[in-house]
Structure 1
Amino acid sequence: MLTRHFVAGAACALALGLVSPLPALAQAPAPAPASAPAGEGDLQAAIAKSNAYTQLMNRTLRARESWQRYASWVDMKKGPTGKEMYISYGLYSLYDVTKEIQKAEQMAASEPKLPEIDAAMLRYIKAYQELAPLITKAERYYDRKDYRDDNMAEGQKLHTAMVPAAKTFLDERDKLDALMRVYKKGLDQRELAALEQREGRSARWQVRNVMIAARAVIDLMPSNQQPIVDLKAFDAATADYAKTVREMDAFKDKNPGASLMIESQAGTWLGKLRDFSDKLAKNKGDVRRGSAETANWIVRDYNMMISLADTAVRMQR
């Protein structure tokens, strides 16, 4: 059976100290069961495509972080002058994503065909490939302080090229991310149903069920772009998550020897979500009014649960 990581909401510390959760790295494929239920092959192909797309999105998140780093010290309208107080911040270097791009391009041409998502992925790759070389040049330029030799001539040239390229990249990423979130939700439910068909509501099913509900909460967490939380939706997602935690508790009570690994963290996380909701309610959902640090801790704890959940699933195979 091909499985996935439970979403690595790659949290990045932004200018406001908020979080921007994303779907996470996919885990390595596992052998399909000898007696896979009907339709299992289609599900595995869908998961493989999701994995490839998710891996690329995670690795290329670095480009957004690098651009935000740059934007934190540069006047975006005037461009760099060489006199900025925080010019030493420069930009972050990017990761090598050659293999991830090749894999995503292969998957875009493979079954299952997802016309809208596949096309969005190819546009995203193109946008990244136009921006990435510019960021790399700029990162080296500022790291080496080359602007001291040319009176910021290259810096201005790079800025002029990077601004439209970054806008296109960020726009394409937002579109792809929105499509992938919807796709992943449906895929999660298919995967959970297939798991239940194979082994019932087992320990592995319980872990998967909790983490799917946790991701639904993470998808509603604030970001620099959207600092105001939809409290009604957030509380509804938290209530759904609470139900999965209670179901896991009931399973644990009936199977005291079962190793779930996340039960303690899952319960503690629920308490933090409720405290966070209370804080947001006092500020009409605006995380900028004293809740940003709590938001970051929630995402960090979630990422820790992902690691534990992945270990639990591997141990239960």
Structure 2
Amino acid sequence: MKKISLGLTVLVLICSLSACKELKDAQNAFQNEKGNTDNGKNEALNNLMGALQGDKDSYEDLPPASDLEAYNNYVDLSNFMTGDVEESLDRYFNGVAASGDFSPIEGGSYITTTFSNHDYEFLDEVESQADLGTSYKEMDEHALTMIPTLRALMEVLDEAGNYGNQKGYLDDNYAKGQEIHSRFVPAVNAYDDERLPYLNSLRAILQEQQARDLERFEKEGYTVRYQMLKLTMLKSEIMNAIYKQEDISDENVLSLDVTEIRPKYEEMAAVLAEFAVNFKDEAELEKEGFESYKSGQLSFFNNAITEFKVQTQALLSRVDEQRAYSEAEKLTLSTTEGSLERLIKCGSDVTSRYNDVIG
């Protein structure tokens, strides 16, 4: 049958709490120095960014991106930031303490990973899109401000990755690592200042688009698409209710306020019970324009959202019972029932599986 083009937008992957906390901790650790070293920081950033601004003449004659293309590019950049970039930062902080002074972590592992040429080309593409202008004016402004700081940070992380991969610290007793860190501090501070405005602006646009899509699916009688999007939105609402409690982590998870989470969980459970039946209805899938091969991807989505529901239930039970992690569980939080770390991983999987279905 002919495929129905719905013009759906991909979703933003949720930001890892652990990675965000690493960056926030680093920002706090660097904050005292930041006020006294603005001139030095700007000079360091200028040195790092000097040859990275690109040549606008090479793209000035290109047409502006379509609304959908522009939005999806901004989403892809968000996913890159909350995925690859935060993973790289996490690797850096695994080997170097989050402090203004360079301090290798005993027993840690110095970063050995780098970014690809494709990553930098993608930044250039999104930056040129923003410079040409799209219908998302606020996003254009945030992108043009944020991307140079991201590119500069990536350059420093690449230098650190090459240094670590070559085990240069064994040759010079971390002398080069210390010099890299002196540039990493202003670079990560500059990026962190611009990161959240970009992500928050994109999140607001996403929520508006999701609301429109949800209304359209309901009006057209697309039950499976409606329920799939509704479940994904409820997942995001649950995670946002956790993120709003900025000081909450697995270390103090029993202090989590679940007042806002519980009704969203109950609604999710009710919708999921219906979706688990409806997504197997071949006649309904054909009516809604799903290709036959999408049935497998829908099944993967169902598995992912079911696991998220189960882990949310386990988290609520843990908080209700005030059941602390055992010493063994503390060592394996990524697989521990009812841990924030496991819930975050499940949430990311839901978004990925949703994008697979509509992609």
TM-score (norm 2): 0.65
1:300 equivalenced with 2:333 (yes/no): no
User: In structure 1, what is the Cα distance between the partners aligned to 2:88 and 2:355?
Assistant: 29
Question: 1:54 is matched with which residue?
Answer: 75
1:143 equivalenced with 2:165 (yes/no): yes
Decide which of 235, 238, 241 is 2:268's aligned counterpart: 241
User: In structure 1, what is the Cα distance between the partners aligned to 2:225 and 2:188?
Assistant: 41
User: In structure 1, what is the Cα distance between the partners aligned to 2:278 and 2:221?
Assistant: 12
User: In structure 2, what is the Cα distance between the partners aligned to 1:255 and 1:60?
Assistant: 38
Question: 1:273 is matched with which residue?
Answer: 312
Indicate how the Cα distance of structure 1 residues 50 and 156 shifts in structure 2: closer, same or farther if over 3 A, else same. Answer: same
CA deviation string 1:163-215 (max 9, x = no partner): 11112212321222222222211111112223344x32332222222222222
What pairs up with 1:175-186 in 2 under 5 angstroms?
175-186=197-208
Matched to 1:161, the amino acid is R
1:153 equivalenced with 2:175 (yes/no): yes
Question: 2:31 is matched with which residue?
Answer: none
CA deviation string 1:62-110 (max 9, x = no partner): 23322232223324233146xx523533253224423322332244243
CA deviation string 1:241-261 (max 9, x = no partner): 334325536856998975653
Indicate how the Cα distance of structure 1 residues 275 and 169 shifts in structure 2: closer, same or farther if over 3 A, else same. Answer: same
Question: 1:125 is matched with which residue?
Answer: 147
SS at match of 1:137: helix
Between Structure 1 and Structure 2, the one with more helix by share is: 2
Q: 166-175 or 220-229, which moves further after superposition?
A: 220-229
SS at match of 1:231: coil
User: In structure 1, what is the Cα distance between the partners aligned to 2:259 and 2:324?
Assistant: 10
* C-alpha contact 2:160 2:180 (8 A) present in aligned 1: yes
User: In structure 1, what is the Cα distance between the partners aligned to 2:312 and 2:181?
Assistant: 41
* C-alpha contact 1:276 1:295 (8 A) present in aligned 2: yes
SS at match of 2:109: helix
How far has the Cα of 1:221 moved from its partner? 4.2
CA RMSD of aligned residues (A): 3.8
User: In structure 1, what is the Cα distance between the partners aligned to 2:119 and 2:218?
Assistant: 35
Decide which of 9, 21, 25 is 1:4's aligned counterpart: 9
How far has the Cα of 1:273 moved from its partner? 1.1
SS at match of 2:95: coil
How far has the Cα of 1:285 moved from its partner? 11
User: In structure 2, what is the Cα distance between the partners aligned to 1:184 and 1:224?
Assistant: 22
* C-alpha contact 1:120 1:176 (8 A) present in aligned 2: yes
Aligned residues: 283
* C-alpha contact 1:6 1:211 (8 A) present in aligned 2: no
SS at match of 1:232: coil
User: In structure 1, what is the Cα distance between the partners aligned to 2:305 and 2:91?
Assistant: 33
Unaligned ranges ≥5, structure 2: 1-5, 23-64, 286-294
Indicate how the Cα distance of structure 1 residues 139 and 268 shifts in structure 2: closer, same or farther if over 3 A, else same. Answer: closer
* C-alpha contact 1:204 1:312 (8 A) present in aligned 2: no
Indicate how the Cα distance of structure 1 residues 283 and 168 shifts in structure 2: closer, same or farther if over 3 A, else same. Answer: farther
Question: 2:133 is matched with which residue?
Answer: 110
User: In structure 1, what is the Cα distance between the partners aligned to 2:186 and 2:158?
Assistant: 16
Matched to 1:215, the amino acid is S
Percent identity for Structure 1 against Structure 2: 17
How far has the Cα of 1:283 moved from its partner? 4.8
* C-alpha contact 2:133 2:140 (8 A) present in aligned 1: no
Unaligned ranges ≥5, structure 1: 18-43
CA deviation string 1:93-149 (max 9, x = no partner): 22442332233224424331332x322222210111111111111111122122333
User: In structure 1, what is the Cα distance between the partners aligned to 2:308 and 2:85?
Assistant: 30
User: In structure 1, what is the Cα distance between the partners aligned to 2:144 and 2:179?
Assistant: 27
Matched to 2:7, the amino acid is L
User: In structure 2, what is the Cα distance between the partners aligned to 1:250 and 1:159?
Assistant: 54
How far has the Cα of 1:45 moved from its partner? 4.9
* C-alpha contact 2:95 2:110 (8 A) present in aligned 1: yes
TM-score (norm 1): 0.72
* C-alpha contact 2:11 2:355 (8 A) present in aligned 1: yes
